[in-house]
């Protein structure tokens, strides 16, 4: 458009110049006084005082100010004075039109004698087109424009100044995260944060700012930096695919960053991995990464580097989510259409995170499209989803509303079986995300999420659970060096189980957990070598651990209710990213967390000198409302060091300690529908973990292929395991059912990753062990005589290959392979008669393993055509899950039938499962 | 008791169809699951373990009655034959100060020791030498002196529709604050019909029955592990601890009922052992089931301390008390009307014969009914009146 303007002006003038024979129409004189006025003011005054009319590109003059004091001068004299020494040229045609251009002057007349074949004489006017190079530059006027930043001065004082601003997607207005902004000489760079914000300190003067981001077209800005200034940059996507890509992380981050054990997956990566029901599944894709395991195929409980499933901080737009799955693990709770990316930290956990031992899973939704309304969705075998997004205020406020639901109920009803007809299973989730830019320094983000699962068993028992979360984030830039994010969030998770089968035994069982968070995270760029991150957070927990009530007037159930629990968890942290030299970088931080378990509550007391067992409970101690029952707290150290051995090879070492004050109590193999969360109390101590990791990272082929090798060793104190045979539901002596253990986990993870090119994907191999040992080794309850035993998810060997080959822009093929050692189990190995009754005895805990697991999946993605103008963009996904049909045992169980104990293995997906999904966007 | 109410309910989910069922059921929620999931037998070598281990069942009864120890072997979980007993073993109870008492083999794995008046101030252990020469030793255990049972009482619980049997005891001198109870219950019951006739197969005649098979007594031993402790109490007093629940619909209380409650003091270790053993259910290892617990006991092999040996050796005195309950609760057994058999067909039929019957036209028949309705022995009792029966 901008390119067309000068040209059209040119033709315009050519066309009309024929009619004007004479030039130099004597103009009126101009008199004006301007003091730091804008160029537009100058134009307006000239136009009002004379009959002249200006043609110019306003964007080139928006930063220009003028000081002018003229009296009774002609327009030409004034313009000469204004543009003297500048790169601007002007031309005046015969109809009193003034054309202002850069460098090249517009020719306002045709060569003399053009229409007179008899004319002989010099060709007075010549026109030279720009060089090819310059032509290229002109393609993007934003790139060719010289941006003047800061308070403009005649003389530039030597020294550094800071440019800040946002990098955004030119089409959607979404922030571009992890984009690299740099100048080449001297080599100084910065990258954008989670909000697309950057801050770069470079020498003043004229600079060429280059901007690169993976998946975006590289761009540059010419700037003259006078003093600290602001520059927002818009980038265009490099692919013509449908809008779905926004990839973070510098390409060489793997080698250059101090972060270890960090994996970022974008929605594009996620979409390439075939899943059982054809729908992109965040948690299942995360499970394919090295070091991450789960107990069974239907479970989305993540076991990261030997941690239990409750040791992962799963955050969705900064609000904690307690149950990240639907239908007890068959689907993950995240709608793929609203996701932007997920970042998993498993060894270096930044000091701003805390409260869980094993990992942080930071899930971010996209911002809605700020430019136009769009809708997208998908229809799969079991679920359907729809997402709407668009601007509320153009370029400032956008919304994103996504919903997903299953139609399995309808399918069940069509089954010709009475048992199934009485059953139902359904879920839905709704996401709302609103982002609003108040001004350059303030942005607000609001997220709401609700999920609901209902599941009825043969018309008798109804299980339901709900997640509700809301977060409000305010991002404020104080100045070029300091910015902060304030976040307030609230999370509620609840489940209930209602049985109405027999009126006499009908009951309702309920549990809920509420968490209110407030946190402030600040980042201060002390100087180019030091960046400080600091902040504080506080959480208030309120749990209702269980209520068991009769249902209906006939029920004979004795009502029972466990007392609510409440606690606060607060933390302060500071972390310094210190770039010692280009080769050596250190990140060191400390987080101090402090926990208070609060009344009102009655705490069980036990006979001194006896074990904590319900048989020794001798009473309760009463605590009033708000009274401190127990305090815990302590420092958590976070440190990591990177040393670049060569340009593309680095060695990293990291050490961290973490504390966890809330625990998921589960004495079953997987997370079961009735597991409860429990706060640390007088008896259940916080879990403390420390981990040391060492890794080697190397990138090949211009950062296209990343290879990493990481080893870790981890200790966990006060890890919870459970005494045999105790129930955790409605247990008034829950502290007596748990077993304090010490855990050690170690392993090696190897990964080759290639995320670009026609062939992309990753291959990972993990060797990992997780062993537990009772703290009180002499106790009768100590499993395996107090010796180390494998945890439920100890699967030493694990190999995963995720690959995708793009044949064309419209057709790609994915192939995945997974192998892992079978998980341990404890089989009954015999029975005996004692005291008149039969007892079954079991092998030592977790000494045997179920058969190994392996599975192959293929998927094919077919995109619709890429015409820009059409009603809807669509794509089809055809996939076959478990192509070889191996019957991988998900569960092994034993049943006593007629006095005989028989073993069975259950394979949930024991056959190839073909699926087809239709996705659309319009 | 509140505890039991919801635990029973929840166990419904844990065991029968429930949380195990959830997983199986989840596969059914969508037709796809129905098609793709499958259940197959799973019997890895570790489950078909043929190795057997020694099980020691019994205790040393100090003072009063004889002691019994039964030696058996463990079985494969799939084995439904009676357990193999251990013959030819030498079992000796040894005290720390050198006394020793040798058990006498009674056959069928049973070893008995006649009543002894042993020293209660010393500690005892059990030494076992199996036929093949393998030797086993228990830990030394303190003798627990059991206080007498003060009373056994009973109370009708309308809500549960059951009779609850309570035990009361106190021991103000002893240090032992842990108790275990066992009981033997005996009840009198009658059949709906009286059988006065039986078949004489040799003579192929119907003859009158010499004994009354409508009145029986059945004795059952306690199967649950009943434990109690007074550690939480300021005084060592057991007051109204329920030891048995008799459901009214069981009809055990319809005629006369008697219960012999046996009380034993326990050491703390023994108490914890029995508590843990009580938790081992026949529940299994599905994804949603609790971790099984592994309980062995205080007996170890001399050669290999890691060899599994099951059982807990303890030494204690025994206190017993018997009561009778004559509340006549329940309903008289009802049966469908007797069949009539033609006298000529009597040896072609199997029903229990009751009496002759003459219809109004004067034709004679035999009346017969099922075992259950007319021969009380079919329900497991004996027609011999127990010697203690009042």
Confidence of residue B17 (pLDDT cuts 50, 70, 90): very low
- Asked if A722 contacts B291 with a C-beta cutoff of 8 angstroms, the reply is yes
Give mean pLDDT, residues A767-771.
92
At A257-294, the pLDDT tens digits run: 666 667 777 777 777 666 656 677 788 788 888 878 77
Smallest CA–CA distance from A851 into chain B, residue: B44
Residue range of the domain that includes A158: 145-238
| pLDDT for the residue numbered A12 | 41
Inter-chain contact A898–B80, Cβ cutoff 8 Å?
yes
Residues A721 and A769 in one domain: yes
**pLDDT at position A298 over 50:** yes
Q: Is residue A139 part of a domain?
A: no
Return the pLDDT at B221. 86
Which of the listed ranges B1-5, B27-31, B171-175, B237-241 does the model predict with the highest average pLDDT? B237-241
- Tally the C-alpha atoms within 13 A of residue A637's C-alpha that lie toward its C-beta: 7
Work out the end-to-end distance of chain A between its first and last CA atoms, rounded to an integer number of angstroms. 26
Closest approach of A551 to chain B, Cα-based (Å):
13
Please determine, for residue A841, whether its predicted confidence score (pLDDT) is greater than 50.
yes
A140 assigned to some structural domain: no
pLDDT digits (tens, 9 = 90+) for A80-116: 887 776 777 888 888 888 888 877 777 777 766 666 6
Q: Which residue of B has its CA nearest to A850?
A: B44
Comparing CA positions, the residue from B131, B333, B294 lying closest to residue B215 is B333
Whether residue A548 is found in the same domain as residue A623: yes
Q: Please answer yes or no on whether B293 and A909 come within 8 Å at the CB atom.
A: no
Instruction: Tell whether A100 and A149 lie within a shared domain.
Output: no
Is residue A249, in this structure, part of any structural domain at all? no
Contact A828 B44 (CB under 8 A): no
For residues A124-144, average pLDDT: 52
Any residues with CB less than 8 A from the CB of A253 and at least 6 apart, and which? A178, A259
In a domain, B93, yes or no: yes
Contact (CB<8Å) A840/B294? no
CATH of the domain at A427: 2.40.170.20
The tally of domains found in chain A comes to 3
Who contacts B162 (Cβ-Cβ below 8 Å, separation ≥6)?
B156, B245, B246, B247, B248
Contact A535, A491 (CB under 8 A): no
Choose the weakest-confidence range: A131-140, A577-586, B239-248: A131-140
Chain B: nearest CA to A797, how far in angstroms?
21
Q: What CATH number is associated with residue B68?
A: 2.60.40
| pLDDT score for A118 | 65
What tokens appear for A711 in the block?
């080893």
Is A425 inside a domain boundary? yes
Asked whether residue A895 is assigned to any structural domain, the reply reads yes
Percent of chain A with pLDDT over 70: 83
Q: Name the DSSP class of B330.
A: S
Q: Which of A425, A781, A906 sits opposite B37 (nearest CB)?
A: A906
Domain count, chain B: 1
Mean pLDDT taken over chain A: 80
* Domain containing residue B298: 54-138+268-282+291-313
- Asked if residues A624 and A607 have their Cβ atoms less than 8 Å apart, the reply is no
Residue A565 and residue A524 share a domain: yes
Question: Which of B23, B56, B234 to mutate to test binding with chain A, by most A CBs within 10 Å of its CB?
Answer: B23
Residue pairs between chains A and B whose CB atoms are closer than 8 Å = 295
The per-residue pLDDT for A84 is: 75
Q: What is the Cα–Cα distance from A771 to A777, expressed in whole angstroms?
A: 14
Assess if residue B358 is contained within a domain: no
- The string of pLDDT tens digits covering residues A207-238 is 888 888 877 778 888 888 888 888 888 887 76
Same domain? A489 vs A378: yes
Residues A81 and A176 in one domain: no
Top-confidence range, A6-20, A327-341, B298-312: B298-312
Q: Which of residues 44-73 of B touch A (CB under 8 A)?
A: 44, 46-47, 49, 52-53, 55, 57, 72-73
| Cβ <8 Å between B22 and A463 | yes
Query: What torsion do the CA atoms of A508, A511, A516, A522 make, to the nearest 10 degrees?
Result: -140
Residues A176 and A290 in one domain: no
- A174 and A311 assigned to the same domain: no
Which chain A residues touch B27 with a CB distance below 8 Å? 908
Contact assignment for B83 to A903 by CB distance below 8 Å: no
Mean pLDDT of A567-576: 95
Contact B292 A831 (CB under 8 A): no
Query: Which one has a higher pLDDT value, A105 or A664?
Result: A664
- End-to-end C-alpha distance for chain B, whole angstroms: 33
Q: How far is A916 from chain B (nearest CA, A)?
A: 13
pLDDT at A802: 86
The ipTM estimated for the assembled molecules is 0.78
Q: Closest to B7 (Cβ–Cβ): which among A381, A727, A844?
A: A727
**Does the pLDDT of residue B294 top 80, yes or no?**
no
Asked whether the beta carbons of residue B26 and residue A327 sit closer than 8 angstroms, the reply is yes
pLDDT band at B31 (very low <50, low <70, confident <90, very high): very low
Q: Are residues A121 and A159 in the same domain?
A: no
> pLDDT (tens digit, 9 = 90+) per residue, A608-652?
888 787 778 888 899 999 899 999 999 999 999 988 888 778 899
Give the chain A residue whose CA is nearest to the CA of B282.
A840
Chain A partners within 8 Å of B34 (Cβ)? 415
Mean of per-residue pLDDT scores for chain B: 81
Out of B55, B273, B275, the one facing A832 most closely (by C-beta) is: B55
Could you tell me if A350 and A410 lie in one domain? yes
Residue A510 domain flag = yes
Give Cα A636 distance to the centre of its chain: 24
Give the orientation angle of helix A75-83 with respect to helix A39-49, to 10 degrees. Answer: 170
- Give the model's confidence band at A244: pLDDT under 50 very low, under 70 low, under 90 confident, else very high: very low
Chain-chain contact of A899 with B80 (C-beta, under 8 angstroms): yes
Residues A728 and A618 in one domain: yes
3-class secondary structure, A721: strand
- Residue B81 near chain A (CB below 8 Å): no
pLDDT at A4 over 60: no
- Site of tokens 């076991």: A303
Residue A745 and residue A880 share a domain: yes
Indicate whether B327 belongs to any domain. no
Q: What is the CATH number of the domain that holds A117?
A: 3.55.50.30
Task: Let me know the angle formed at the C-alpha of A478 by A472 and A483, rounded to the nearest 5 degrees.
Answer: 60
Q: Which of residues 196-235 of B touch A (CB under 8 A)?
A: 221-225, 227, 229, 231-232
Whether B147 contacts B169, CB under 8 Å: yes
Return the ∠ at Cα B185 (arms to B183 and B191), rounded to 5°: 165
Give the whole-number percent of chain A exceeding pLDDT 90. 23
pTM for the whole thing?
A: 0.68
Q: Give the best residue of B7, B266, B287, B298 to mutate against chain A (max A CB count within 10 A).
A: B287
Nearest Cα to B111, choosing from B61, B63, B51? Answer: B61
Position A501 scores a pLDDT of 67
Q: Is the pLDDT of residue B152 over 90?
A: yes
Contact residues on chain A for B46, CB-CB shorter than 8 A: 827, 829, 843, 848
Within A458-583, strands assigned E span 461-477, 482-499, 507-527, 530-550, 560-561, 565-579
Task: Supply the pLDDT for residue A450.
Answer: 95
Query: Is B25's Cβ below 8 Å from some Cβ in A?
Result: yes
- Closest by CA to A620, choosing from B232, B118, B348, B200, is B232
- B294/A784 Cβ within 8 A: yes
Q: Is residue B379 within 8 angstroms of chain A, CB to CB? A: no
Residue A468: pLDDT band by 50, 70, 90 thresholds?
very high
pLDDT band at A725; cut points 50, 70, 90: low
Across residues B184-193, what is the average pLDDT? 92
CB contact under 8 A, B287 and A896: no
Structure tokens at A310: 């409750």
Q: Residue B3: is its pLDDT beyond 50? A: no
Q: What is the pLDDT of residues A491-533, one digit of tens each?
A: 999 988 887 766 777 888 899 999 999 999 999 988 878 889 9
Residues of A in contact with B75 (CB under 8 A): 830-832
The two three-digit tokens of residue A535, written as one number = 């902040």
Q: Tell me which of B30 and B147 has the higher pLDDT.
A: B147
**Cβ–Cβ of A296/B291 closer than 8 Å?**
no
- Interchain contact, B280 vs A725, CB within 8 Å: yes
- Give the span between the Cα atoms of A750 and A767, in whole angstroms: 9
Calpha distance B35→B149 (Å, rounded): 62
| Spatial separation of the C-alpha atoms in residues A364 and A247, rounded to whole Å | 12
Question: Is there a contact between B287 and A891 if contact means CB atoms under 8 Å apart?
Answer: yes
Where residue A135 falls among pLDDT bands split at 50, 70, 90?
A: very low
* Confidence at residue A525, expressed as pLDDT on a 0 to 100 scale: 87
Of B46, B225, B296, the CB nearest to A829: B46
Looking at the partner chain, which of B22, B35, B80 has a beta carbon nearest the beta carbon of A900? Answer: B80
* The pLDDT value given to residue B288: 45
User: With an 8 Å Cβ cutoff, are B287 and A826 in contact?
Assistant: no
B259 to chain A, closest Cα gap in Å: 17
- Residue to substitute from B1, B4, B6, interface A, most A β-carbons within 10 A: B6
Q: Tell me if B324 is assigned to some domain.
A: no
Tokens of B118: 């042993």
Q: Which range has the worst mean pLDDT, A113-117, A486-490, A615-619, A854-858?
A: A113-117
State the CATH number of the domain containing residue A157.
Answer: 2.60.40.1120
Of residues A636 and A8, more confidently modeled: A636
B371 lies in some domain: no
Going by C-beta distance under 8 Å and a sequence separation of 6 or more, which residues neighbour residue A162? Answer: A199, A200, A201, A228, A480, A481, A525
């Amino acid at each position: 458009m901008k390119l067309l303007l000068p040209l059209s002006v040119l033709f315009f003038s050519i066309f009309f110049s024929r009619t004007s024979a004479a030039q130099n129409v004597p103009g009126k004189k101009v008199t004006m006084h301007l003091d730091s006025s804008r160029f537009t003011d100058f134009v307006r005054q000239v136009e009002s005082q004379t009959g002249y009319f200006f043609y110019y590109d306003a964007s080139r003059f928006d930063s220009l100010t003028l000081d002018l004091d003229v009296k009774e001068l002609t327009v030409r004299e004034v313009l000469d004075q204004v543009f003297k020494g500048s790169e601007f040229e002007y031309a005046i045609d015969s109809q009193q039109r003034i054309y202002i251009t850069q460098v090249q002057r517009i020719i306002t007349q045709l060569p003399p004698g053009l229409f007179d074949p008899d004319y002989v004489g010099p060709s007075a006017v010549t026109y030279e087109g720009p060089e090819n190079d310059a032509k290229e530059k002109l393609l993007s006027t934003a790139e060719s424009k010289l941006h003047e930043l800061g308070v403009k001065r005649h003389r530039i004082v030597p020294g550094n100044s800071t440019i800040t601003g946002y990098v955004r997607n030119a089409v959607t207005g979404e922030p571009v995260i992890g984009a690299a902004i740099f100048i080449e000489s001297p080599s100084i760079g910065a990258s954008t944060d989670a909000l697309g914000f950057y801050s770069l300190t470079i020498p003043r003067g004229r600079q060429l700012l280059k901007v690169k981001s993976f998946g975006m077209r590289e761009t540059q800005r010419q700037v003259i930096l006078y003093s600290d200034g602001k520059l927002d940059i818009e980038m265009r996507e490099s692919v013509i695919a449908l809008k779905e890509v926004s990839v973070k992380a510098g390409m060489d981050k793997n080698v250059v960053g101090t972060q270890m054990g960090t994996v970022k997956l974008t929605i594009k990566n996620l979409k390439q991995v075939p899943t059982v029901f054809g729908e992109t599944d965040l948690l299942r894709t995360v499970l394919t990464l090295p070091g991450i395991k789960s107990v069974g195929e239907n479970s989305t409980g993540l076991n990261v580097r030997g941690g239990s499933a409750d040791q992962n901080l799963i955050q969705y737009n900064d609000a904690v989510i307690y149950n990240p799955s639907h239908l007890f693990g068959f689907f993950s709770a995240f709608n793929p259409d609203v996701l932007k990316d997920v970042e998993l930290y498993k060894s270096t956990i930044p000091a701003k995170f805390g409260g869980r031992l094993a990992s942080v899973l930071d899930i971010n939704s996209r911002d809605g499209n700020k430019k136009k309304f769009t809708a997208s969705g998908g229809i799969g075998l079991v679920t359907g989803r729809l997402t709407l997004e668009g601007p509320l205020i153009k370029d400032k406020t956008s919304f994103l509303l996504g919903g997903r639901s299953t139609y399995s109920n309808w399918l069940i009803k069509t089954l010709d079986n009475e048992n199934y007809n009485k059953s139902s299973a359904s879920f839905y989730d709704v996401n709302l995300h609103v982002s609003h830019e108040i001004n350059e320094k303030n942005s607000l983000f609001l997220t709401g999420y609700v999920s609901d699962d209902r599941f009825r068993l043969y018309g008798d028992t109804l299980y339901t659970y709900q997640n509700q979360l809301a977060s409000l984030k305010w991002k404020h830039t104080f100045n070029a060096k300091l910015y902060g994010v304030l976040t307030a969030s609230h999370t509620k998770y609840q489940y209930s189980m209602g049985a109405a089968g027999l009126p006499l035994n009908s009951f309702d069982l309920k549990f809920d957990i509420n968490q209110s968070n407030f946190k402030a995270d600040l980042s201060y760029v002390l100087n180019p070598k030091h960046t400080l991150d600091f902040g504080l957070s506080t959480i208030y927990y309120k749990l209702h651990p269980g209520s068991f009530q009769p249902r209906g007037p006939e029920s004979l159930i004795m009502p029972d209710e466990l007392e609510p629990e409440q606690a606060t968890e607060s933390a302060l942290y500071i972390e310094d990213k210190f770039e010692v030299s280009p080769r050596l970088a250190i990140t060191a931080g400390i987080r101090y967390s402090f926990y208070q378990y609060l009344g009102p509550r009655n705490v069980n007391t036990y006979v001194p000198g006896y074990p904590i067992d319900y048989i020794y409970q001798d009473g309760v101690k009463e605590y009033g409302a708000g009274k401190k029952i127990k305090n815990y707290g302590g420092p958590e150290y976070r440190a990591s060091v990177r040393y670049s051995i060569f340009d593309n090879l680095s060695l990293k070492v990291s050490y961290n300690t973490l504390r966890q004050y809330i625990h998921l109590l589960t004495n079953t193999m997987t997370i079961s529908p009735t597991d409860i969360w429990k706060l640390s109390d007088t008896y259940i101590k916080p879990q403390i973990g420390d981990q040391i990791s060492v890794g080697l990272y190397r990138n090949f082929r211009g950062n296209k292929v990343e290879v990493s090798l990481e080893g870790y060793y981890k200790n966990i104190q006060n890890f919870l395991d459970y005494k045999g045979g105790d129930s955790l539901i409605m247990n008034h002596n829950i502290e007596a059912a748990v077993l304090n253990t010490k855990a050690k986990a170690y392993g090696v993870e190897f990964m080759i990753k290639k995320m670009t090119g026609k062939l992309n994907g990753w291959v990972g191999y993990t060797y990992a062990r997780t062993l537990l040992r009772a703290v009180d080794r002499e106790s009768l309850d100590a499993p395996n005589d107090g010796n180390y035993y494998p945890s439920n998810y100890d699967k030493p060997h694990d190999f995963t290959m995720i690959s995708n080959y793009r044949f064309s822009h419209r057709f790609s093929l994915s192939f995945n392979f997974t192998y892992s050692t079978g998980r341990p189990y404890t089989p009954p190995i015999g029975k005996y008669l004692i005291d008149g009754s039969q007892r079954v005895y079991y092998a030592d805990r977790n000494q045997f393993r179920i058969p190994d697991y392996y599975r192959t999946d293929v998927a094919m993605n077919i995109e619709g055509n890429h015409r820009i103008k059409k009603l809807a963009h669509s794509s089809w996904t055809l996939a076959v899950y478990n192509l070889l049909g191996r019957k991988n045992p998900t569960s092994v169980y034993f049943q006593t039938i007629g006095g005989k104990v028989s073993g069975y293995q259950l394979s949930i997906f024991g056959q190839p499962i073909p699926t087809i999904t239709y996705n659309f966007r319009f | 008791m509140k505890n039991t109410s919801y635990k029973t309910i929840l166990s419904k989910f844990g065991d029968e169809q429930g949380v195990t069922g959830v997983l199986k059921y989840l596969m059914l929620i969508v037709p796809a699951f129905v098609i793709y999931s499958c259940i197959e037998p799973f019997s890895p070598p570790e489950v078909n373990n043929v190795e057997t281990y020694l099980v020691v069942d019994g205790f040393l009864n100090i003072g009063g009655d004889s002691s019994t120890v039964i030696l058996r072997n463990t079985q494969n979980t799939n084995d439904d034959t009676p357990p193999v007993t251990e013959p030819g073993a030498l079992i000796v109870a040894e005290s720390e100060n050198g006394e020793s008492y040798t058990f006498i083999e009674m056959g069928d794995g049973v070893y008995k020791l006649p009543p002894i008046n042993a020293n209660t101030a010393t500690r005892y252990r059990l030494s076992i030498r199996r036929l093949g020469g393998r030797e086993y030793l228990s830990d030394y255990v303190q003798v627990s002196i059991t206080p007498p049972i003060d009373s056994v009482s009973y109370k009708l619980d309308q809500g549960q529709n059951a009779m609850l049997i309570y035990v009361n005891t106190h021991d103000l001198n002893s240090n032992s604050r842990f108790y275990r109870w066992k009981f033997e219950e005996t009840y009198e019951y009658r059949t709906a019909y009286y059988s006065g006739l039986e078949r004489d197969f040799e003579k192929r005649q119907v003859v009158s029955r010499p004994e009354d098979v409508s009145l029986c007594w059945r004795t059952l031993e306690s199967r649950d592990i009943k434990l109690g402790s007074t550690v939480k109490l300021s005084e060592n007093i057991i007051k109204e601890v329920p030891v048995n629940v008799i459901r009214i619909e069981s009809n055990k209380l319809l005629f006369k009922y008697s219960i012999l409650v046996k009380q034993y003091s326990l050491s703390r270790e023994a108490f914890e052992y029995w508590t843990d053993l009580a938790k081992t259910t026949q529940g299994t290892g599905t994804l949603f089931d609790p971790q099984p617990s592994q309980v062995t006991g205080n007996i170890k092999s001399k050669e290999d301390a890691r060899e599994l040996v099951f059982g807990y050796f303890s030494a204690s005195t025994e206190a017993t008390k018997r009561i009778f309950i004559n509340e006549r609760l329940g309903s008289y057994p009802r049966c469908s009307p007797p069949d009539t058999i033609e006298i000529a067909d009597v040896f072609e039929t199997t029903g229990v014969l009751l009496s002759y019957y003459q219809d109004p036209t004067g034709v004679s028949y035999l009346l017969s009914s099922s075992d259950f309705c007319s021969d009380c022995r079919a329900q497991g009792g004996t027609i011999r009146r127990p010697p203690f029966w009042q």
